[in-house]
Structure 1
Amino acid sequence: MPTRLDHHRDPEYRARNPSLHYFVWDRGDENKMYEVEEEFVFLSAIDRVDPLLLNLLEMWCCLMLQTLTKNALAKYLPANMVAPYAGTHLNIAIPLHQAPYCVMVDTQDPSMYHTSDPMVAQYYTSLRRRFYELKFSPNMVLRDYYAKVMRQRVITRVQTNQKKLVKGLEGVEKLVKIRLNKSGSAHQEFFLASFSFTISRKWVHLEHNAPVQVRFESITEDEFRRKGNHPNVYCLNATKDDPASRLAVFVEGTSDSGAPFAGWLRSNAEKKVFKINTLVDMFEGGSMIKSRHLPRRWIELKFQNQHGEIVQQAFYTKNSSQKTD
C-alpha cells in the first residue's frame, strides 16, 4: 500500500499514467480554485491481490460514493437512490468491465468497436459515448479534461502521420491505382498519405494494384544554395523559393508485360508544386497546420464541426501569406 500511495503522489508517475483522476488532481497545482486536500481512506484490505476481487471492491466504492456516470448509477443502484450530486463523476468506465488478471484492454483500439462479440462491441461503444459526453458535462473540470484529451489526440495523429511520411525517405512499397479519366483514357498513380504521384503511361503500362518501390530523395537547403535544384527534381516548374525544388522521386517495378522499369518521376503541373512544397515541409518536421501560414502550399485539414461531423477542407495558399479556397 505505501508503494501505491507513493505512485499516486509522484507527478512523473501521474504523467506516465494519465487518467481523469490524475487530471483533476493536477489541476490543483495549476489553479488554487481546484486545490483539494489529500485524504486517503482505506475502505477495504485484502491479503492477496486478486484482480477480479479488486474490480468488485472498486465497483462497490464507486456505487457507495456515486462517482460513476448517472446512467451507470441508475442501472446498478435501487430506484430513487441516485444522489443529487451524482454526475460529477471521476469514473467513466465501469470497474466490472475492466479486464481481470492484469490483461489490459486498449479501449482506443478500433477493432474493439467492430468485434464479432455483440456484448464487447456494445460495451466499447458505450464507453466511447460516455467519454464524448464529457464535452457537455456541467462540471468545468471534466470539460477541460475532454478538451485536453482531444488536443493530445490531434498532436499524436500529426506525429504519427509525420513518422509515416518520413519513412518515404527510406523507401516504401506502394500500390499503383488505375482509374479512367472523363475522356476514357487510363491514369495510373500511387499515394503517399494525401499526396498523389502519377506514373506516365507514355513511359510504362502497369496493372491495377501493381506494387512499385518508391524512394523520395531530398537535399538540404544548404545543398540547394550551393548546387541549385536537385538534379532529378520532380517538380519542373518549382522556383528557387519552393521547397519542391529540393525533392526527387524514384520508382521501380515491373510493367504489365513483365519487363522491369526504373527511373525518376517528373511533373510539370503548376499546382503540383504547391502540394510538394507542403510534403517537403512535412518531411522536414513540419505539418499542415504550420504550412497553412506559408506561401504556395496545398493544405488539407480535417476538423469536427458543431454537429460533431468530420469535415474536410482543402485549399491552396497564395504567393503571400493569404490563402484562397
Structure 2
Amino acid sequence: MQHRLERVRVMVMERKLPALLISAPTNRRYLSGFTGTYGWLLVTPTTALLFTDSRYLLQAGQQAPSFEVRQVVNPGNPFPTLLRDAVVELGLTQLGIEAAHMQVAEYRSLQKEVGAACELVPVEGIVETLREIKDSAEINTLKRAIALTDAAITAVIERLTPDTTERQAAWMLEMAMRVGGAEAVSFPIIVAAGPNAALPHATPGDAPLGTGQPIVIDMGARIDGYHADLTRTIVLGEPDARFWTIYETVLKAQEAALLSLRPGLLTHKADALARDLIVEAGYGDHFGHGLGHGVGLDIHEGPGLRRENPLVPSQPLRSGMVTSIEPGIYLEGWGGVRIEDLVLITDGGCEVLSQAPKLRR
C-alpha cells in the first residue's frame, strides 16, 4: 500500500494541492487497505489519517497500518469537526475533495465546518487514474476471480436443460461461484433467453431457457474486492442459420479487437476495431454500448473503450490495464449475442485472461 500512497501524493502535488480528502469507498480501500463501509482518508505529503467510528477502529488499525486512525463519534465528535481540527493542526489552506463521489449535503456540512479555515477544492480522477494500471498483486487477484468464473460457467452449462428457467440458471451460477470461493458475485447475474437476450442488462425471470434460441449469460466472481466479468452466449439444442450469422459476426468482431490491442492504441480506435466489422455486416444500429471497460475494485472503471466523443476525450491504452472486450448485437423480438473476455494490456499487445469455452460451429 505504501507505494500507492506515495504515487497519490505525487499526483496531489502536481495539482498544486497541499492535501486530498478521499471519500470513495474503493479509492479508500485502494490506498489504505481498509475495507470498512464508513470512513475518510486525509493525505498530505507527510501525513496519512483515517477517520472512522468505533465499529471499525480495530479493523482500521489492522488493515491500514500506514494511516493514523482517528475516531468519529456521532453525536459528540462528528467527522466535520474532526476534519476541521486536522486542517487547523496541519495548517492547510486548501483541501482537494473527490467531486464525483461527494453528495451535496455532505459537501455543505464540510463547508460549514471547515470553510472558514480551508478552501475545499473539487478535483476528479486522481486515485482513479492510478487504479487504471494494475500492480502484480491486483493482477494475481483478478486472475483468481476470472479462473473461478470460468470454472463455474463451464460446470453449470453442462447441467442446464430447456426447462431450466433464467432465474434458476442464475442461482446455479451464483452457487457455483460461492462454493468455489467467491466472497460475492460481481453484479446481479444476467441470464436472458430468446427475446429477453435483446436486453443487454436483462433481469432473469421465469422464462425457460428453451431450445434453439440464444441465451446470454453475463456473470463474475468477486475475490478480495476484485471483480471478474464474463459473457457467453449459448444455445441448448440446434440453433438456426440466423443465430450463426449473428454469433459469428460478434465473434469475428471480438477477435479483431483482441488481435490489435496494444499500448498506445486510443480507446475509441479500439472500439472501432470491433464496431466497424459489425457495421459492415449491417448490424451497426444494434450495437449500442461501448466495446469495453476497465475492471478492478469496481466492476466498471477506467479505461472506457467507446465510440469517439468530443465531450469525453479518448485515451491511450497502457500496459497494466485490465479491460473487458464485449461486442454485442441485439435484435428486438429475436434476442441477442454478446461475447465478453477480460484482457490484460501488455508491452507486446494483450493477454486474454478469460478462458471459458466459446461456441464454435
Q: Which has the higher contact order (CA 8 A, sep 6+)?
A: 2
TM-score (norm 2): 0.28
Larger radius of gyration: 1
TM-score (norm 1): 0.30
